[in-house]
Structure formats: C-alpha cells, structure tokens
Amino acid sequence: MTTQLTFVAPRRAKPPRHLADLSMAERRAAIAELGEKPFRADQLSRHYFAKLTGSVADMTDLPAGSRERLAAELLPDLLTPVREIACDDGATRKTLWRLFDGALVESVLMRYPDRVTMCVSSQAGCGMNCPFCATGQAGLTRNLSTAEIVEQVVAGARALNSGQVPGGGVGAKGAGRVGGQGGNRVSNIVFMGMGEPLANYKAVINAVHRLVDPAPEGLGISARHVTVSTVGLVPAIEKLANEGLPVTLAVSLHAPDDELRDTLVPINTRWKVSEVLGAAWNYAATTGRRVSIEYALIRDINDQEWRADLLGRLLKGKLAHVNLIPLNPTPGSKWTASRPKDERAFVHRLESHGVPVTVRDTRGREIDGACGQLAAAPDR
C-alpha cells in the first residue's frame, strides 16, 4: 500500500466583505440574500457614506433585530489602528493600521485651511522596488480590497468629524463632511501611500467609484480632486483613460532618460520613458485632465541642469505640470535631497521651456509620513 501525500497550497483568506466593496445594486442584492428588504441597502449606505456613522446603535431607522446582523455582515471592522502620530500641531496625522490578516498599512491626513488631503495606501507593501522609496524595500505583501482603501478615507473623515484634527482655520463649518471645498471635510485624495495603485487596478477603480459617487452611494468627493499616482504601468494607464472617471493622473517619472530611470524606477526596463509619456499624453487627450509629472530631486543623481533641459523638451507644449519633490530621507538610503541652488536651477530650466512647475511641500516628513517614507513598521 502506498500513501500519497497531496500538498494543498494554503488558500489566502480574503478580507471580509464590506458595504464599501459593493455597488448600490450589489448592496441591494446582498441584503436581499440576507432576507432583508433591499431598501435597507439605501439606509445602511446613508449611515456609512453620508453620516459616517461608526456605531450600530446609532442606526435607529433600522429595526433593532436586523441592525446587528446587517452590521456584522456588511460593516465588519477592517482596519484596527495600531499607532497614530501627528505633527504640524496635529494638522498632519499618520495612522498605522492592522488589517484582518495582520498586514500593516499607513495613511496620512493633511489638514490645510482650504482643504483636507488624505494620502491612502492601495497595497500592503509594494512590488515596484524603487530604491529611494521606503515602501519598496520590504516588497509586496498583498493587494488591499476596495473597502480596505475606502475605510482609510472614512476613518479620516470620522476623525475630522469628531474634532480630533486641529487646524481647520477660523469659522470652520460643516466639520467632517466629505466632498466639497474647505478645510473641514476630506476634499482631496491622493493614491500616494503604500503600493502601486495600478497594480491593484480593479480594487482601486472600485474604490474611486465609492469615493466620487454622490452620497449615499459613495462619499461624493470630486473626481478632479482624486489623484492616482503610478510608476508608469502603460496598459493600465490606457485602461484608466477609458474609465470615464476624470481623476488626475500622476506619473512618477524621476528621470527623463531611460539610462537613469531604469535604475530609479525599475519597471522602466519594461515600459520606457517614451512609452510612459505617450500613455500620459493619451490620458490627457482623452480626459482633458492635466497630467502631473512627479520628480523627486535627488542630489547629484537626477538634478543636473541638462536633465532639466531634457525634461523640459519632453514636456514642452504638453498638458502637463511638474511636481518636484525634495527627496525625503529613508532608512538605509545613501541619497539625499538636492542642494537648494540646484533645485532652483532645475526649476528655472523647466520654466524656460514654458513648463509649469511646483515644488511639493514636505508635510509629514518628521513623522516619516511624507512621500516614500511609509514603511508600516510598528516600531518606527
């Protein structure tokens, strides 16, 4: 007799299903399956997306008997806060979250007098391996689900709502409401936290729908105030252009020449600068949206004037704007930000080609919450 051992690879558990994973039609179907009236989907959605209700006890328009069950089935806890650190007198807060399976991600909320920007993660870790970015160093753990992305925003909106985030300016009204203008609601979302959003395409697109769909279907944030930042996954940029979602596309270019970009953004060995920019111009033409070209200025690596000239020639006359990011320090990296005089010269060179340029502020740097610093290590 022989015994046969069959190796069964462990199936990776998925995050529990959540209301924010589902479209309105899917919510109604899910609720009907639970033996409840489909209109309960609208009520539940209003609580979650419009009122940002976090507690089942407050959902008094739902029958007491159904409340607990609906919440258990459709509003499971997906994010557990592990640590919160703040700077800028509390107006910038970084939260480290533990997900259902122990994976860790971070999100950052930045409150300004006229707006509130949330920087969200789309993956636990990242597989893109850019050497100057802290997230890339530990590799990819997994993709986040749609609801795990949306919950980061809802958590930020609730924190604003409950007065936990100072810095809204004088006469702050409507605190905590989502969408619209003003520094009292989450008005802007940037997919610039951990992960490569276009490598988790479906969940990210669904999350964008939840963010921009009007309440109570979604949070009602303007699509123009949502920025998806990518290393340059060309087929996914092309797909995004045809989604009918006028989000802002940001391309992490960091070098105008393939020789250097191959080393700074390793996926460049697959899709070259010319292909990435080609996809960006196609995105601009299809959506009418100005593309943001991200360029982290790294001392003596990519900050030479000739590179600014080359970049200026590539971008001249295009629907584009350059966002220069002074390199933020990351552990173990030998690189540092450009000298102020080199940064100024870089800006001037670009401007001489008629290319609009801004230098990004370094909000959150002292709490390792700025661009490229999110590493989700519990001891940092």
Which residues are marked as active site? 106, 371
* Binding-residue total with ligand SAH (CB under 6 A): 18
**Smallest distance, Å, CB 327 to ligand SAH?**
4
Of the candidate residues 196, 213, 303, 368, the single one contacting ligand SAH (CB under 6 A): 196
Angle separating helix axes 201-212 and 146-161, nearest 10 degrees: 30
What distance lies between CA 50 and its chain's CA centroid? 21
**With binding defined as CB under 6 A, does residue 346 bind ligand SAH?**
no
Q: How far apart are the first and last CA of the chain?
A: 56
Give me the least distance between CB of 132 and ligand SAH, in Å please.
5
Work out the burial of residue 321: count CB atoms within 10 Å of its CB; fewer than 13 is exposed, 13-18 middle, 19 or more buried: middle
Asked if 252 is part of the footprint of ligand SAH (rule: CB under 6 A), the reply reads yes
Give CA–CA dist 349/39, Å, rounded.
59
> According to the binding rule CB under 6 A, does residue 327 interact with ligand SAH?
yes
Residue whose token pair is 């479209």: 23
- Residue 120 binding ligand SAH, by CB under 6 A: no
> Backbone phi, then psi, for 189, in 5-degree steps?
-125, 130
CB of 294 to ligand SAH, least distance (A): 4
For residues 207 to 246, the per-residue mask of contacts with ligand SAH, x marking binding by CB under 6 A and - elsewhere, is ----------------------xxx---------------
Strand partners, 143: 123
Pairing of β 123-125 and β 140-143: antiparallel
What is the 3-class SS of 211-245, one letter each residue? HHCCCCCCCCCCHHHEEEEECCCHHHHHHHHCCCC
Q: Which is nearer to ligand SAH, 44 or 375 (CB)?
A: 375
**192 scored as a contact of ligand SAH (CB under 6 A):** yes
Check binding of 133 to ligand SAH (CB under 6 A): yes
Binder among 151, 294, 303, 368 for ligand SAH (CB under 6 A): 294
Give Cβ neighbours of residue 25 (< 8 Å, ≥ 6 apart): none
Q: Which position's Cβ is nearest ligand SAH?
A: 372
- By CB under 6 A, residue 106 contacts ligand SAH: no
SS3 string of 335-358? CCECCHHHHHHHHHHHHHCCCCEE
Per CB under 6 A, 328 contacts ligand SAH: yes
Q: Residue from 20, 44, 74, 296 that binds ligand SAH (CB under 6 A)?
A: 296
Output 22 or 231, the one with its CB closest to ligand SAH.
Answer: 231
Q: Is 121 in the site for ligand SAH (CB under 6 A)?
A: no
Structure tokens given for 135: 């997230």
Q: Which stretch binds ligand SAH (CB under 6 A): 45-53, 130-138, 177-185, 207-215?
A: 130-138
> Environment class of residue 2 by beta-carbon count within 10 Å: exposed (0-12), middle (13-18) or buried (19+)?
exposed
Binding residues for ligand SAH, per CB under 6 A?
128, 130, 132-133, 192, 196, 229-231, 252, 294, 296, 325, 327-328, 330, 371-372
